[in-house]
Copies of this chain bind each other. A is one copy, B any other.
Amino acid sequence: MAVNPTQTRIRNAAIRLFAKKGFHGVGIRELAQAAKVSPASLYHYIGSKEELLADIMWESLERLLSAAMLATTDVADPREKLGRLVTLHVVAHAVQSKETAVVDNELRSLAPKLRKRVIDKRDAYEQLWAETIEQGAEAGLFRSDHDGLARRALLEMCSGVARWYSTKGEIKLDTLASEFTDIALRSLGTGEAPPQPDMDRCRTIVKYTWGTKV
């Protein structure tokens, strides 16, 4: 949404700082300085510090959700669907680690009103996972996960990527994605060797959504 270069600078600075120090650990002056704007000018671009946070979070989730929907629509096999969800989630947390870390950590910094909008988005996204797992269970491909334990475990595992993965390290994105997919499918699986998801399709979507090559 942010087309104005100043808005972009502000948003990027905010993402970086919020991720590094946490919402409450970043002052408006620090943010303004990082965005090369005066503190007063900042308020031409943002409603408030909190709204800025909410916007960042919402948009990050929006991208993830749209990517996930794009990847799973018209896919019949739940294993393929889940594989794609995992791949996109992992890649998102690898290449957009700052945004996703903010999403994962700063919900608590939002007042109820703003929080709801973000939570709704997040729930919509997680619903995709839940449905996929349920479909797999109904199809006898996955173990059932009534209590969501497996879903939770996998989501946390995948989200954790944002905390430790570095694009500059030795592990390639490709490897990362396929390893995680593997773990996910096996932990849900019935023992049979699961198929690998269509990586080409995922690559296209990642490129389209986050502008990054995988």
List the interface of chain A (C-beta within 8 A of B): 20-25, 105, 108-109, 147, 149-150, 152-157, 159-161, 163-165, 169-171, 175-176, 179-180, 182-183, 186-187
Name the residue of chain B whose CB is nearest to the CB of A176: B149
Contact sample, A vs B, 5 pairs, CB 8 Å cutoff: A22-B22, A149-B176, A153-B180, A157-B157, A157-B160
Shortest distance between the CB of A158 and any CB in chain B (Å): 8
Chain B positions within 8 Å of A152 at CB level? 160-161, 164-165
CB pair B179–A183 under 8 Å, yes or no, is no
Instruction: Assess whether B164 is in contact with A150, with CB atoms less than 8 Å apart.
Output: no
Chain B nearest Cβ from A175, distance in angstroms: 8
A179 to B152, CA, bound (A): 12
The smallest C-beta distance from A126 to any residue of chain B, in angstroms, reads 11
* Closest residue on chain B to residue A105 by CB atoms: B105
Instruction: Pick the residue among B22, B109, B161 that contacts A109 (CB under 8 A).
Output: B22
A21 cross-chain contacts in B, Cβ below 8 A: 24, 108-109
Closest-CB distance, A111 to chain B (whole angstroms): 12
CB of A6 to closest CB in B, whole Å: 18
